[in-house]
Every structure is written in structure tokens, then in C-alpha cells.
Amino acid sequence: MAKTSDTAGPLMLMRRGREQLSLVLPTEAQEKIRRLLRLSPREFDIALCIMDGRTHGDTARLLGCSPHTVNSHLRRVFAKLHVDSKAAVVACLFAAFVELSEFGEWHHDVT
């Protein structure tokens, strides 16, 4: 199972590489990544669980919190990414990951 420390890695790498990314990525790609950088590590965990198709209950069990807490985090994810649906969250993540994969190797693997 994925844990917070497992999924926080990509977010930390994106934050560390922010200056390097801005040198090589087009402005549109930079904006996609900047939106993800606004997420806290827990919000990023929630977004990844949404991307994996997990329900609020599954996500809550995986992360050790209540479904209400998952919903609260998800509302903040929507606000920070300027979206209003889970599908749009997935689209933002996917778009940013595509840009990052073109920049260098990175993959998302939740068991």
C-alpha cells in the first residue's frame, strides 16, 4: 500500500527541481506543474488516490483518516487546481506527469 512518505516523493522532487524545470519547460507546462506544487503533501496523496480511481472510503482507509477528511482535502485540491471535478483533477495530474516524463524519467506506482 502507498503511504504518505511514498507519494510525497514526486511532489518533493518537483519542488526541488522547480528552477531547473523553469529553464527547460514551456510556460504552459510550467503552469501545470506550479498548480501541483500548491498542493500540500496530504492533498497530493488524495489527488493520487483519485487518479488511481479509489473511493473516498478506500482513500480514507489507505491514508488512515476519515472519509470526511478526504472530502475536505479534496475540496482544497479543487480550489488549488482551479477545477470542479475528480476527472479534472486526474487531467491536471496526467498533464503535469506527461510534461515531467518528457523532462526526465518519473513514474507513478501505487500497489
Residues 6-35: pLDDT tens digits? 444 555 555 555 555 555 556 666 677 778
- Kindly indicate the confidence band of residue 2, based on its pLDDT and cuts at 50, 70 and 90: very low
Residue 53 domain flag: yes
pTM for the model stands at 0.67
Contacts for 93 with CB less than 8 Å, ≥ 6 apart: 36, 47, 48, 51
Residue 52 domain flag: yes
- Indicate whether 85 pLDDT > 90: yes
Q: What does the pLDDT read at residue 31?
A: 72
Contacts for 11 with CB less than 8 Å, ≥ 6 apart: 36, 37, 39, 41, 44
Tally of structural domains, the chain: 1
Q: What does the pLDDT read at residue 33?
A: 75
Q: What does the pLDDT read at residue 71?
A: 96
Residue 48 domain flag: yes
Residue 108 domain flag: no
| Mean pLDDT, residues 84-102 | 83
Q: pLDDT tens digits for 35-53? A: 888 899 999 999 999 999 9
Residue 19 domain flag: yes
Residue 109 domain flag: no
Residue 80 domain flag: yes
- Indicate whether 84 pLDDT > 90: yes
- Domain with 51 in it: what CATH number? 1.10.10.10
- Indicate whether 107 pLDDT > 50: no
Residue 111 domain flag: no
Q: What does the pLDDT read at residue 13?
A: 53
Residue range of the domain that includes 30:
4-103
